[in-house]
Amino acid sequence: MKNFFIISLLITIPYQAFAGINDMENACESIPGMYECKSMNSSSFWVIISNSSLNHNYQSYGSMLCDGGKRNFNVNKGYSITFWNRNGGELYKYRCY
């Protein structure tokens, strides 16, 4: 019984963490102006902006994604959110800690 509990716990925890980041990516992409959102690894979350020539408040976006990811999707803080234009140029880096 103890082994079953440990195996169940090991299977469930990674799945829940993975589901949380997927949900966060989907929610991020539903925000107007966000073209694509992707967790690159445990320390990096990338956001590609649809039209980087518009006046965007990347500091505010980063704060919203960082706090909302923790609160709504249980994504732990401890990563950077990098905003990119569609040509691959870095626009802003927000530290989510």
Name the residue range of residue 65's domain.
Answer: 2-96
41-53 pLDDT, tens per residue? 999 999 999 999 9
Residue 19 has what pLDDT?
A: 66
pTM value is: 0.79
∠ at Cα 90 (37, 60), nearest 5°? 60
Q: Which amino acid is at 9?
A: L
Dihedral over Cα of 16, 18, 20, 22: its sign: negative
Instruction: Give the mean model confidence (pLDDT) for residues 58-82.
Output: 97
Q: What is the CATH number of the domain that holds 92?
A: 3.30.300.30
Estimate the share of the chain in helix, then strand, then coil, as percent rounded to the nearest 5.
45, 30, 25
Which three-class secondary structure state does DSSP give residue 82?
A: strand
Give the span between the Cα atoms of 30 and 25, in whole angstroms.
9
Domain count for the chain? 1
